[in-house]
Amino acid sequence: MQIHEHTNAQIYATVEAAATIADDWAQSSAQTRAKLLRGLADVLLKNRETLVRLGDEETSLGTARLNGELDRTCFQLHGFAAHVESGQAFVFSDDAAIAGAPPIGRPAMKRVRIPLGPVAMFSASNFPFAFSVLGGDTASALAAGCPVVVKAHPAHPRLSRAVFELAQSVLALQGLSDGLLGMVEGASVDVGVELVRHPDIAAIAFTGSFKGGTALWAQANARPRPIPFYGELGSINPVIAMPSALAAQAEAEALAQTLAASIEFGSGQVCTSPGLVVLFDNADADRFEAALRDALQTKKTHAMLTPAMKRNFDAGVARLVDTPDVQTLLRGDTASDDHAPPRPVLARTTAKHFIAHHILQEEIFGPACLLVRVTSADEIVDVLTAVGGSLTVTLWGAESDSADVRRITRRATQIAGRVLFGGVPTGVAVTGSQQHGGPWPASTQPFTTSVGYAAMDRFLRPVALQSAPAWLEERAGRPC
């Protein structure tokens, strides 16, 4: 696998090309942006077979998964195109002038939103289409009126180049500057650091590891002019099973099968993989635990995205099972082959020990899940408090209102960006109401989302226009 290493000069040239076109793209019409986004979706569809084959060769994710992900990517691009055409990109508030002295009197005031400028987008390893070159971050930034410089992920360099070249062909066909979408490559830390440090980069969108994300976030804040860093860093996505959810054996067994498939999906290499399941300590939980263990034991995983991820998974599992008061329920072959598919891991502990050991609250990126037994609603609240921040929390059996259900729901909303009342957390709908982000350590900006049409808000800054002249008012919120 050949990975190009861009020089500082190449990185700077790519960013400067984006900066040169930034003002023009900020002024572009909704029709121009929508046409580009739809053109990018069309070129992906036309080259599906080649792109999916490349993706499978580099990631081992399988053609079914990659075809679905390509469809999602195209759906996102079309969705943002429609969202821009709806007028939401230029939405503004308008307060008419009122004669007289303050505080009753006031001048005319409009609150508009302007594009930030060039966005650096760090591709994710685990979604080579949907969170990569033409993924949601790129789509939302282009829709908001910002050029994008992609940092390709070294886990799938050939696919990234192929998608980038197709995107460049669309820009040329539509008569748009090739600086509107740039790409840099490199496996070294230096490439990412140089990109973040460039003075013309106005914001960062990052999906990846906690370690890498926090290092780049520090660089963004250390600049002479700090910039927003929208980082998705990791999540253990608790699933809370209330007693009523497991009372019927057939339903509990079905839930165990569904949960096992969610844990195993993509070899556990998804940000919403359920890594923590909270159960009341009773006979129903015993049956559910056995059903989950048996279901996981039959799952056939595939190789992880990179050898480094497999090593990190093995190290995380070792830390988990070696932690005091943790019982291992399922653990496959512990061979050190970095290319071997990971085996699902299931372990158990109590609420007391989960809360006491911070290491149990950390994400293990891969098919590993920790069961936590509790004896009361108070312990559930305490477990969620110890988690601190998560992309999701799932509540099973919360259909009936009660003081305990309300307390648990309230705490779930306090620590997660998305709370599910059924199902499993894997699978993130692209919609206007989606919130994919959560309190630290799930993300660096819990007030924003990286999935859904509100993702555009990350790249638009509010500006108040006071007593604006007529020519500016006529632009109806579009940047001049």
Which tens digits make up the pLDDT trace of 36-81?
999 999 999 999 999 999 999 999 899 999 999 999 999 999 999 9
Q: What is the average pLDDT score of the chain?
A: 95
Q: Residue for token digits 């924003």?
A: 448
Cross-strand bridge partners of residue 349:
372
* Beta strands, E only, 309-427: 327-330, 345-350, 368-374, 390-396, 416-420
Of 69, 194, 232, 379, the catalytic one is 232
- Considering 271, 363, 369, 379, which one is annotated as catalytic? 271
DSSP state of 342: P
Q: Is the pLDDT of residue 477 over 90?
A: no
Domains of the chain: 8-233+443-473 (3.40.605.10), 238-420 (3.40.309.10)
| Of residues 173, 184, 396, the one with CA closest to residue 274 | 396
Q: Given a cut of 90, is residue 376 above it in pLDDT?
A: yes
For residue 250, name the pLDDT band (cuts at 50, 70, 90): very high
The two tokens of residue 138 are: 């790129």
Mean pLDDT in residue range 323-349: 88
232 is catalytic: yes
Yes or no: say if 271 and 450 are a contact pair by the CB < 8 Å rule. no
Percent over 90 (pLDDT), the chain: 93
pLDDT tops 60 at residue 432: yes
Q: Looking at residues 15-44, what average pLDDT do you find? A: 97
* 3-state SS, residue 422: coil
Percentage of the chain exceeding pLDDT 70: 99
Q: Residue 90: pLDDT above 90?
A: no
Q: Which helix (H) or strand (E) holds 464?
A: strand 460-466
- For helices 30-46 and 157-173, angle between their N-to-C axes, nearest 10 degrees: 130
* pLDDT over 70 (residue 214): yes
Residue type, 228: P
The pLDDT confidence band at residue 267, using thresholds 50, 70 and 90, is very high
User: What are the residues facing 229 on neighbouring strands?
Assistant: 204
For the segment 86-109, the average pLDDT, to the nearest whole number, is 92
Mean of pLDDT values over 219-235: 96
Beta strands in 9-147 (DSSP E): 93-95, 109-115, 119-122
Q: Which residues 6+ apart lie within 8 Å of 129 measured at CB? A: 44, 51, 55, 66, 69, 70, 72, 73, 135, 163
List of long-range contacts for 82-88, beta carbons under 8 Å, 24+ apart: 82/34, 83/143, 83/432, 83/453, 83/456, 84/30, 84/33, 84/34, 84/37, 84/143, 85/30, 85/31, 85/34, 87/30, 88/453, 88/456
Q: Is 346 helix (H, G, I), strand (E, B) or coil?
A: strand
Beta bridge partners of 109: 95, 466
What is the C-alpha separation between 21 and 27, in angstroms, rounded? 10
**Does the pLDDT of residue 4 top 90, yes or no?**
no
Examine the pLDDT at 334 and tell me if it is beyond 70.
no
Distance CA 201, CA 224 (A): 12
Q: Which position has the higher pLDDT, 416 or 477?
A: 416
Q: How high is the pLDDT of residue 383? A: 98
| 443 DSSP 8-state letter | B
**pLDDT at residue 1 above 60?**
no
Question: Tell me, what DSSP letter sits at residue 126?
Answer: S
The neighbour count for residue 292, using CB atoms within 10 Å, is: 27
Instruction: Name all contacts of 168-175 with Cβ < 8 Å and 24+ positions apart.
Output: 169/43, 170/36, 170/39, 170/40, 170/43, 171/36, 173/39, 174/35, 174/36, 174/39
Q: What is the value of pTM for the model shown? A: 0.95
pLDDT at residue 329 is higher than 80: yes
Mean pLDDT value of segment 244-271: 95
Confidence band, pLDDT 50/70/90 cuts, at residue 335: low
Closest by CA position to 107, among listed 464, 476, 472, 475 = 464
Evaluate if residue 336 carries a pLDDT over 90: no
CB 178 within 8 A of CB 168: yes
